[in-house]
A and B are shown apart, each in its own frame.
Chain A
Amino acid sequence: MFIVTILIFGFSLSVQAGDNILIAAASNLRFAMHEVCQDFQEENPSIQTKVSYGSSGNFFAQISQGAPFDIFFSADTTYPELLEKEGFTVKESQKVYAVGKIVLWFPKVSNADPDKGFQAVTFPTVKKLAIANPRHAPYGRAAEESLRYYGLWEDVKEKLIYGENISQTAQFVHTGAADAGIVALSLAISPKMLHEGRYWDIPDESHSDIEQVYVVLKKGKEKKSIRKFLDFIHGEKGGNILSQYGFVIPGTGENGS
């Protein structure tokens, strides 16, 4: 039985090589990138995009251990720079594609009042506050900076639960496992979360800019499809999708919201 299955799979192996792009994307892009890829593939049916989502720090580690990605959409500027230094990238291919925002998100069931702003996290009704792990998730770093900026870090330290990346953090609040969470705006306004809770915009001045940079990796150097994909991201359609998800597109100033 096993031998038969192996034979069948042996044949299916050879089909894998084609014109496809393997993308590593910071998990704040989870829903936005999905839409970008869908639209891109509609225009370019011969190109297949495959996306893996995770924290930027985790991808940095994987790529430096030889993970076969063609392009890396980070949630910050640091990890692409480090990869460049270590020689894993195509020189001068780094570019800011979006600037992210963070929000304080409450599930519908929570009786916290988002209009109270950040003070709401100190209320006893918020027993658990979810943030992404600041050690390897840029959105977690921004969350920590904001909490410190408002002098709330010490107050909430005991309440914090850490998501491995920003979408796991969103999942923690979405399921109600945490009473509040600091998540990416791009996740908060995704169809999955929009009507499941309420959010408060965390002011940009409370944390350093979440400049998101992509970088083409050595594995993707020869692929023409990458150029097409990047043109799409920077084009009108790609830009529209990203700004719909609350990203500020560099060079265009404010986003629509």
Chain B
Amino acid sequence: MNFAAPLLLSLKLSSVTTLLLLVLGVPFAYWLVFTKFRWKFLVESVVALPLVLPPTVLGFYLLIVIGANSFVGQWYESIFNKPLAFSFQGLVLGSFLYSLPFAVQPIQTAFSSVDKKLLEASWSLGRSNIYTFFRVILPLSRHGIITGCVLSFAHTLGEFGVILMIGGNIPGITRVASVAIYDEVQSLNYGTANMYAAILLSFSFIILALVYFTNRRFTRTM
């Protein structure tokens, strides 16, 4: 089997998931920071669930929701003519939910730590919310957004349980690097498993080192 395929698939899944989280996570985090909604704490709890839930819980419910016999599954299949479960798109959905807190929480923290006086200054100068967001909040939250992206990327790369449950272990489609390790061990190919494991280990370490490095630089310049 092609050694690089699971690694490339992992990178692709992480990239797509991170991009989605960035596009949807930023407005969502903004809403969480500025809403007056009194049940906000419930929404925040739901977002944080993947931090504490076993991946099998998420995987199990996802499989029920997107499986071929479900409403969502059949609706998806009637439009795209292929099932959502056991497909790359299904994995993206699972990874999106699974990594949601890793994107939203750092961005939310960054947004809420922007000095209120700066926002009021912008508003009192007649600038709109949108202008204020792009010219004041976003630049000041740069490092929180980068942290959110990097963490979601790394977390998706390290995902295993959810993927095994909703994706199976299909070569080229859902066999990502973490699942390939599991598969190679069962094939008694400890050498190959070790290579995947070492690559994931070094990659994760480098990513985290980068996060901590940029955080350190950021706190210094404060």
A contact set with B: CB distance below 8 Å: 2-3, 5-6, 9, 12, 16, 22, 27, 30-31, 50-54, 62, 64-69, 165, 167-168, 170-171, 174, 192-193
Interface centre among A30, A67, A170, A192 (most CB of B within 10 A): A67
In the complex with contacts A2-B19, A22-B170, A53-B86 CB distance below 8 A: no
Q: Which residues of A lie under 8 Å from residue B63 when comparing CB positions?
A: 65
Q: Decide: A51 and B171 in contact? CB cutoff 8 A.
A: yes
Q: B82's contact among A6, A30, A68, A165, by CB below 8 Å, is which?
A: A68
Nearest B residue (CB) for A86: B69
Q: Which residues of A lie under 8 Å from residue B19 when comparing CB positions?
A: 2-3, 6
Interface centre among A12, A50, A165, A192 (most CB of B within 10 A): A50
Nearest A residue (CB) for B70: A65
- Secondary structure at the A interface, as helix, strand, loop or mixed, is helix
Q: Which residues of B lie under 8 Å from residue A67 when comparing CB positions?
A: 83, 85-86, 168, 170
Q: A30's contact among B68, B87, B168, B187, by CB below 8 Å, is which?
A: B187
- Smallest CB separation, B188 vs chain A (Å): 4
Q: Which residues of B lie under 8 Å from residue A170 when comparing CB positions?
A: 186, 188
Q: Decide: A6 and B187 in contact? CB cutoff 8 A.
A: no
Q: How far is the CA of A167 from the CA of B188 in the complex (A)?
A: 9
Q: Decide: A53 and B169 in contact? CB cutoff 8 A.
A: yes
Known contacts A9-B11, A174-B188; 9 further A-B pairs (Cβ under 8 A)? A6-B15, A16-B173, A65-B73, A65-B86, A66-B86, A67-B168, A68-B82, A68-B83, A170-B188
Q: Which residues of B lie under 8 Å from residue A16 when comparing CB positions?
A: 172-173
* B contact residues, total (Cβ < 8 Å): 34
Interface string of B61-74 (1 = CB under 8 A from A): 00100011100010
- Smallest CB separation, B16 vs chain A (Å): 6
Nearest B residue (CB) for A48: B172
- Smallest CB separation, B180 vs chain A (Å): 11
Nearest B residue (CB) for A61: B63
Q: Decide: B15 and A9 in contact? CB cutoff 8 A.
A: yes
Interface centre among B19, B68, B73, B84 (most CB of A within 10 A): B68
Interface centre among A9, A54, A66 (most CB of B within 10 A): A66
Q: How far is the CA of A31 from the CA of B188 in the complex (A)?
A: 10
Q: How far is the CA of A12 from the CA of B8 in the complex (A)?
A: 10
Q: Which residues of B lie under 8 Å from residue A12 when comparing CB positions?
A: 8
